[in-house]
A and B are shown apart, each in its own frame.
Chain A
Amino acid sequence: NAGVTQTPKFRVLKTGQSMTLLCAQDMNHEYMYWYRQDPGMGLRLIHYSVGEGTTAKGEVPDGYNVSRLKKQNFLLGLESAAPSQTSVYFCASTPDGQGASYTFGSGTRLTVV
């Protein structure tokens, strides 16, 4: 049972490049979330999904897009990367939307130069 798997684990992008971060969960969870963690800041919610085919904006959605075409996958896209998007990105899933049942991935460290 892999839980929540994030791909890739590390990436360096040049300003203006695009990329997609993949989050895959094998627990049949309904809810999925993308957070970013920056020094001196807590985890901040970028986008979330309450079920297959749904997405919604979180606290800091600008510059990101998401898709949840399959229940097990939640993709985070950066269309034109900026240095301000240098961060560690965490995906999480939960069956019921409750924080106590969150399962987090191990993170993707993204550097935009």
Chain B
Amino acid sequence: DQQVKQNSPSLSVQEGRISILNCDYTNSMFDYFLWYKKYPAEGPTFLISISSIKDKNEDGRFTVFLNKSAKHLSLHIVPSQPGDSAVYFCAASAYSSGTYKYIFGTGTRLKVLA
């Protein structure tokens, strides 16, 4: 059973417009959420995170929103740029057995059209 779901496998957006990537989770014990970006033939790289005590976190063009009651988070990219084209993974974590364990979603492939 997938605890972290990204229901849109792909998304295409025009350059300059907003990209919205969504992520849903089922486990209410998750207390920290992250987004990673992955280019082909590379490992994922950390993009932005949010703690469960917040509902919004911004970093430049990237904003993550968290709705705990709906168990939903979203990543907004404004304005979208062609270099943002990549696969985006959301991840949720809970502390267990001496370390944080991260459950990843299946990823959304974003294509930003010039």
Contact = CB atoms under 8 A, between A and B. Distances in A.
A100 B4 contact: no
B43 interface: yes
8 contacts: A42-B104, A42-B106, A43-B104, A48-B99, A50-B99, A99-B32, A104-B45, A106-B41
Interface of B: 2, 4, 32, 34, 36, 41-46, 49, 89, 91, 93, 97-107
A113 to B, nearest CB: 22
A41 interface: yes
A31 B99 contact: yes
Nearest to A91: B43
Main secondary structure of the interface of B (DSSP, over half): strand
A98 interface: yes
Nearest to B106: A42
Nearest to B38: A104
Which 3 pairs across A and B sit closest by C-beta, in order of nearness?
A104-B43, A42-B104, A43-B104
Contacts of A82: none
Contacts of A104: 43-45
A99 B34 CA distance: 7
B99 A99 contact: no
* Most chain B CB inside 10 Å of its own CB: which residue of A50, A92, A101, A104: A104
A66 interface: no
